[in-house]
């Protein structure tokens, strides 16, 4: 287990860890965390965390355990949502269980079907990232190139609570098209009728009250902030970027930065 | 939202209706130019040939939105509705040019004139257009100097207009037999338009259908060649996989090159701003993979089922006539898509390539922020910018403003009027026409109310969502909520669900399209639809409530509309 900032070796710690490590080094606001190689992760899954690991994790508080697959970056595929992310782990046992789930997610029927479609025949190798969980009040996904029209503007979708609701498509989010300088070209407010939030160690899906459902999530200042993060993130991945962002108390965190597949 | 408000004034006397079927957004200046130059002329030639009492639809652009006016043959400009019945009766029986028109319509049915037109299309028009487009795309635009590039652009502009005209010269050819079938079968059975049309169309992916023969040849070549099959199923970016197929020896290489040659510069949408098929390698690769798996064969079964259930409803004494009308409608049906694909569909893609090349040069010289801005120039501006090699500050701002307007406004915006100059009056009832003209009158009426004015057949209900993956697809809706229900999904089905979960990846290779109640452009469902190159519409809110399991639907991944058919 090593600090996330040192996990830029993608062959050992996977694509997600690499992206986050580089982002940390570039000064982007990435929540602190650690990375586990597939071997570290297998050890944690079988024997549990050792004392050093428990101490390291205690520094982070409640954490998110995320998959970081190795050797699939070149596949130009998103693995959108296939590999598990376990949010809200508060104890060493919970982390161990989450690592098991993340490792197992590489072998689900859906993941194997997707690998077959991509022609990936080698057994999947999965590293793991453990990060401080950001209890997001607002979450957003940003594409720095329009994935449909391929136009050169930023597409931002945002909702209340944790980003899982966006990624899984559980809400109709707010949608912003921004010039690269961050000026809104279009704003379309969604109907964010539910949000995912953390309640202790559990994530709960709860109804959003009437006043907030249709209210705008990101103001012009937050959108400008998004536009400022994009060039730095693009420089890291070497092209158009797909970002996951979270805000708590007005402070922005970058949860993921990767090259756009589609 | 753009803060500019623009006023919409009628572009001339008479009533004008917003065109929503093909241009859900403002049109580029280039496409406006081609439409204004070629649309009405081609349409009028077509109606004259078939003796249709409608002369043509007259297009006009207001704030870049297309509006159409129906112009009856022989009517004064801007006329709102027909003259009184007695006057109409007299005109159509006494005025020589109107009488001649009625006679022409009668003769067209007697001669099955559409068959002659289809022969002409196949033997002369289509091959000539294909040859012209192949010749134009064989030009290496990047090697042209500024003067040559300007000349090529001028040629593109002229060709676009000629191709729009060519397209509409065959509009009545392909719609009259179908309208005739609709009108007569509708009268016999009372069934909705969508159900009757299903018998004509069958079911298959419409998008990229232009190159069906080339795609089929490639699929067959791949099926005979295990190495090519492995390449096709392999890993890596779609563009590389396509390149490897093209580089393969033997039948596969030549079939792959032939296929890409015809689709590379084919516009996927109706405007020069939409990407060409060659810019969407994933979609192309998806089409090749689907073809090798024999996807779409199910469509024919669906078509056969639609025909037999419709035929059952036709009174026995009309069944022989039903078979005859159906044969004519099916015979001509392919022309409906072909006339666009082999006309402006190709012309516009070739134009796009040239404009983007010019845009790249201007962007490299710091004249434009990005190459694609030039897609919003008028033909005159293009010529000037390319020849002079510069774009002024004011011109740049204007291009930016046009693009912002075009990409953010939509026909569904509340401030875009559906009609200008009032709502149109009803056309004269068909039975005012002389007996010999009524069959054509009914056919045109069925088409105008059933197909033309709406993207969907009359009576069909459209559900609107966010378009996340381009292409148009018709198929059987499958409402699936849980993994255990996957067994019910058959090849070519349209998945309709609240939100997709990761385990949907198992069934994705089977699907023809995806529709969800929820989600944005960046959610899983949207991403995988794009990866698999199938049309996708998300965030419809009510698709699972409105669509019945097993119902036929059309999913338009360009406009975000899901239409219930029958």
A contacts of B372 (beta carbons < 8 Å): 151-152
Q: Contact A175/B236, CB-based, under 8 Å? A: no
Q: What is the mean pLDDT of chain A?
A: 88
Q: Are residues B181 and B318 in the same domain?
A: yes
- Nearest chain A residue to B527 by CA distance is A262
- Half-sphere exposure (Cβ direction) of B19: Cα atoms closer than 13 Å: 22
User: Regarding beta strands B536-538 and B513-516, do their DSSP bridges make them parallel or antiparallel, or are they unpaired?
Assistant: parallel
Task: Give the 3-state secondary structure of residue B295.
Answer: coil
H or E segment to which residue B259 belongs:
helix B250-263
Q: What are phi and psi of A64, to 5 degrees?
A: -110, 135
Which of B506, B519, B530, B535 would you mutate first to test chain A, the one with the most A CBs within 10 A?
Answer: B519
- How far is residue B560 CA from its own chain's centroid? 14
- The answer to whether B468 and B538 are in contact (CB under 8 A) is yes
In a domain, B195, yes or no: yes
Task: Give the 3-state secondary structure of residue B394.
Answer: helix
Closest by CA to A163, choosing from A120, A208, A187, A196, is A196
- The answer to whether B263 and B137 are in contact (CB under 8 A) is no
Give the residue carrying structure tokens 């040859």: B131
Please state, in angstroms and rounded to a whole number, the distance separating the CA atoms of residues B387 and B367.
13
Q: Does the pLDDT at position A109 exceed 80?
A: no
Q: Which residues contact A212 (CB under 8 A, 6 or more apart)?
A: A160, A192
Q: Are residues B327 and B349 in the same domain?
A: no
- The answer to whether B465 and B538 are in contact (CB under 8 A) is yes
Which of B370, B466, B522 would you mutate first to test chain A, the one with the most A CBs within 10 A?
Answer: B522
In a domain, B416, yes or no: no
Please state, in angstroms and rounded to a whole number, the distance separating the CA atoms of residues B476 and B489.
10
- Output A259 or B218, whichever has higher pLDDT: B218
- Nearest chain A residue to B503 by CA distance is A110
Query: Among the listed ranges A15-19, A152-156, B61-65, B470-474, which one has the minimum average pLDDT value?
Result: B470-474
Neighbours of B117 (CB within 10 A): 23
Interface predicted TM-score of the whole assembly (ipTM), two decimals: 0.73
Which of A167, A179, A185, A262 would you mutate first to test chain B, the one with the most B CBs within 10 A?
Answer: A262
CATH homologous superfamily for A2-132?
ATP-grasp fold, A domain (3.30.1490.20)
| CA-based nearest distance A55→chain B, Å | 34
What's the mean pLDDT in A86-109?
87
Q: What is the pLDDT of residues A27-83, one digit of tens each?
A: 999 999 999 999 999 999 999 899 988 998 988 989 999 988 887 654 445 555 567
What's the mean pLDDT in A144-153?
85
Q: Are residues B395 and B529 in the same domain?
A: no
In a domain, B10, yes or no: no
Q: Are residues B190 and B302 in the same domain?
A: yes
- Nearest chain B residue to A189 by CA distance is B1
- The answer to whether A40 and A130 are in contact (CB under 8 A) is no
3-state helix, strand, coil in chain A (%, to 5): 35, 30, 35
Closest by CA to B512, choosing from B498, B529, B524, B526, is B529
The H helix count followed by the E strand count for chain A is 8, 13
- Per-residue CA distances from B37 to A167, B40, B158 (Å): 46, 8, 9
B contacts of A152 (beta carbons < 8 Å): 370, 372
B contacts of A185 (beta carbons < 8 Å): 2, 404, 407-408
DSSP string, A101-137: HHHHGGGSHHHHHHHHHHT--SPP-EEEEEEEPP--S
Closest by CA to B54, choosing from B69, B38, B33, B39, is B69
Q: Are residues B200 and B175 in the same domain?
A: yes
- The answer to whether A136 and A251 are in contact (CB under 8 A) is no
Q: Are residues B122 and B219 in the same domain?
A: no
Q: What are phi and psi of B368, to 5 degrees?
A: -135, 150
Q: Are residues B118 and B245 in the same domain?
A: no
- How far is residue A58 CA from its own chain's centroid? 21
B contacts of A80 (beta carbons < 8 Å): 502, 524, 527-528, 531
Which domain does B78 fall in, by range?
A: 16-169+345-410+425-452
Picking from A111, A153, A262, the nearest residue to B531 by CB comes out as A262
Which of B363, B523, B534, B559 would you mutate first to test chain A, the one with the most A CBs within 10 A?
Answer: B523
- Among the candidates B262, B277, B292, a domain finishes at B292
Q: Contact B524/A81, CB-based, under 8 Å? A: yes
Size of interface A-B (CB pairs under 8 A): 136
What does the pLDDT profile of chain B (566 residues) look like in tens digits? Answer: 444 578 999 999 989 988 876 777 899 999 999 999 999 999 999 999 999 988 999 999 999 999 999 898 888 777 777 788 888 887 888 888 888 999 999 999 999 999 999 999 999 999 999 999 999 999 999 999 999 999 999 999 999 999 999 999 999 998 899 899 989 998 999 877 767 876 775 433 343 445 777 888 898 999 899 899 989 887 778 889 999 999 998 899 999 999 998 888 887 667 898 778 788 787 678 778 877 776 444 444 556 777 888 899 999 999 999 999 999 998 888 887 788 888 998 999 999 999 999 999 999 999 998 899 999 999 999 999 999 999 999 999 999 999 988 887 877 677 889 899 988 777 788 888 888 889 998 998 887 776 544 444 444 567 888 888 878 888 899 998 776 677 777 778 899 998 876 666 667 767 889 999 888 888 877 877 877 778 899 989 889 989 998 888 999 888 889 998 86
Q: Contact B509/A117, CB-based, under 8 Å? A: yes
CATH of domain A138-259: 3.30.470.20
Q: What are phi and psi of A53, to 5 degrees?
A: -65, -40
Please state, in angstroms and rounded to a whole number, the distance separating the CA atoms of residues B171 and B168.
5
Closest by CA to B153, choosing from B361, B12, B334, is B361
Picking from B404, B506, B530, the nearest residue to A113 by CB comes out as B506
The structural domain count of chain B equals 4
Q: Contact A187/B274, CB-based, under 8 Å? A: no
Please state, in angstroms and rounded to a whole number, the distance separating the CA atoms of residues B418 and B427.
18
Q: Are residues B311 and B185 in the same domain?
A: yes
Q: Contact B502/A186, CB-based, under 8 Å? A: no
- How far is residue B249 CA from its own chain's centroid? 35
Which of B228, B229, B235 would you mutate first to test chain A, the one with the most A CBs within 10 A?
Answer: B235
Q: Contact A109/B520, CB-based, under 8 Å? A: no
Q: Are residues B36 and B163 in the same domain?
A: yes
| CA-based nearest distance B232→chain A, Å | 9
Q: Are residues B512 and B544 in the same domain?
A: yes
A contacts of B521 (beta carbons < 8 Å): 143, 147-148, 155, 157, 175
Closest by CA to B293, choosing from B285, B282, B301, is B285
Q: Are residues B150 and B189 in the same domain?
A: no
Neighbours of B464 (CB within 10 A): 16
Please state, in angstroms and rounded to a whole number, the distance separating the CA atoms of residues A132 and A128.
13
Q: Are residues B358 and B381 in the same domain?
A: yes
Give the residue carrying structure tokens 């067959």: B220
- Among the candidates B280, B313, B336, a domain finishes at B336
Task: Give the 3-state secondary structure of residue B411.
Answer: coil
In a domain, B238, yes or no: yes
- Half-sphere exposure (Cβ direction) of A117: Cα atoms closer than 13 Å: 26
A contacts of B530 (beta carbons < 8 Å): 147-148, 262
The ranges assigned to domains in chain A are: 2-132, 138-259
Closest by CA to A18, choosing from A257, A230, A260, is A257
The pLDDT assigned to B207 comes to 36
The pLDDT assigned to B297 comes to 43
């Amino acid at each position: 287990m090593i600090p996330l900032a040192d996990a830029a070796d993608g062959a050992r710690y996977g694509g997600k860890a690499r992206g986050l490590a580089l982002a940390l080094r570039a000064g982007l606001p990435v929540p602190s965390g650690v990375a586990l190689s597939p071997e570290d992760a297998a050890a944690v899954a079988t024997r549990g965390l050792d004392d050093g690991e428990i101490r390291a994790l205690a520094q982070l508080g409640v954490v998110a355990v995320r998959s970081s697959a190795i050797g699939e970056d070149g596949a130009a595929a998103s693995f959108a949502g296939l590999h598990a992310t376990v949010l809200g782990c508060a104890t060493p046992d919970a982390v161990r269980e989450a690592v098991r789930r993340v490792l197992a997610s590489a072998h689900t029927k859906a993941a194997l079907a997707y690998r077959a479609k991509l022609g990936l025949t080698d057994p999947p190798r999965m590293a793991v990232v453990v990060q401080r969980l950001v209890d997001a009040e607002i979450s957003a996904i940003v594409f720095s190139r329009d994935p449909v029209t391929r136009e050169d503007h930023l597409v931002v979708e945002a909702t209340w609570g944790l980003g899982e609701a966006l990624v899984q498509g559980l809400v109709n989010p707010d949608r912003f098209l921004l010039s690269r300088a961050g000026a809104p070209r279009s704003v379309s407010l969604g109907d964010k009728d539910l949000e995912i939030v953390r309640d202790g160690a559990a994530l709960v899906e709860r109804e959003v009250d009437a006043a907030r459902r249709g209210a705008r999530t990101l103001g012009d200042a937050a959108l400008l902030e998004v536009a400022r993060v994009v060039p730095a993130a693009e420089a890291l991945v070497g092209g158009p970027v797909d970002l996951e962002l979270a805000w708590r108390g007005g402070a922005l965190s970058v949860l993921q930065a990767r090259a756009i597949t589609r | 939202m753009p803060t500019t408000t623009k006023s919409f004034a009628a572009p001339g006397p008479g009533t004008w209706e917003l065109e929503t079927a093909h241009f859900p957004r403002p049109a580029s200046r280039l496409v406006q130019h081609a439409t204004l130059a070629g649309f009405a002329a081609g349409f009028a030639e077509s109606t004259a040939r078939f003796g249709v009492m409608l002369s043509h639809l007259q297009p006009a652009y207001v704030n870049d939105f297309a509006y159409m006016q129906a112009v009856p043959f022989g009517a004064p400009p801007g006329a709102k509705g027909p003259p009184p019945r007695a006057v109409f009766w007299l005109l159509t029986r006494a005025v020589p040019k109107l009488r001649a028109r009625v006679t022409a319509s009668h003769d067209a049915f007697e001669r099955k004139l559409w068959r002659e037109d289809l022969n002409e299309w196949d033997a002369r028009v289509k091959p000539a257009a294909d040859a012209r487009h192949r010749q134009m795309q064989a030009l290496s635009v990047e090697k042209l100097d500024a003067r040559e590039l300007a000349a090529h652009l001028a040629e593109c502009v002229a060709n676009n207009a000629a191709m729009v005209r060519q397209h509409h010269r065959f509009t009545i050819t392909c719609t009259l037999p179908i309208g005739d079938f609709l009108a007569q079968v509708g009268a016999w059975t009372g069934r909705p338009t969508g159900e009757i049309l299903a018998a004509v169309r069958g079911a298959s992916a419409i998008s990229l259908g232009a190159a069906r023969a080339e795609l089929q040849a490639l699929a067959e070549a791949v099926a005979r060649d295990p190495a090519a099959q492995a390449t096709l199923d392999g890993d890596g970016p779609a563009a590389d996989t396509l390149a490897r197929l093209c580089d393969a020896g033997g039948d596969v290489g030549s079939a792959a090159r032939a296929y890409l040659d015809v689709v590379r510069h084919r516009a996927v949408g109706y405007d020069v701003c939409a990407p060409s098929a060659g810019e969407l390698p994933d979609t192309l690769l998806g089409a090749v993979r689907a073809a090798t798996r024999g996807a779409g064969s199910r469509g024919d079964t669906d078509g056969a089922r639609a025909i037999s259930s419709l035929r059952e409803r036709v009174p026995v004494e009309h069944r022989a006539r039903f078979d005859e009308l159906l044969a004519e409608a099916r015979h001509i049906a392919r022309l409906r898509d072909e006339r666009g694909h082999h006309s402006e569909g190709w012309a516009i893609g070739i134009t796009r390539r040239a404009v983007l090349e010019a845009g790249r040069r201007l962007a490299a010289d710091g004249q434009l922020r990005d190459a694609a801005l030039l897609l919003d120039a008028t033909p005159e501006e293009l010529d000037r910018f390319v020849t002079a090699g510069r774009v002024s500050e004011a011109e740049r701002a204007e291009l930016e403003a046009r693009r912002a307007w075009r990409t953010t406004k939509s026909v569904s915006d509340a401030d875009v009027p559906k009609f200008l100059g009032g709502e149109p009056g009803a056309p004269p009832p068909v039975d005012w026409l002389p007996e010999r003209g009524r069959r054509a009158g009914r056919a045109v009426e069925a088409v105008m109310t059933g197909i033309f004015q709406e993207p969907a057949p009359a009576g069909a209900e459209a559900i609107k969502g966010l378009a996340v993956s381009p292409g148009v697809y018709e198929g059987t809706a499958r409402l699936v909520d849980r993994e255990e229900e996957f067994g019910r999904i058959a090849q070519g089905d349209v998945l309709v669900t609240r939100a997709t979960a990761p385990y949907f990846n198992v069934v994705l290779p089977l699907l023809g399209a995806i529709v969800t109640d929820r989600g944005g452009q960046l959610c899983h469902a949207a991403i995988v639809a794009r990866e698999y190159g199938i049309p996708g519409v998300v965030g419809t809110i009510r698709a699972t409530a409105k669509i019945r399991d097993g119902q036929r639907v059309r999913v338009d991944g360009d406009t975000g509309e899901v239409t219930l058919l029958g």
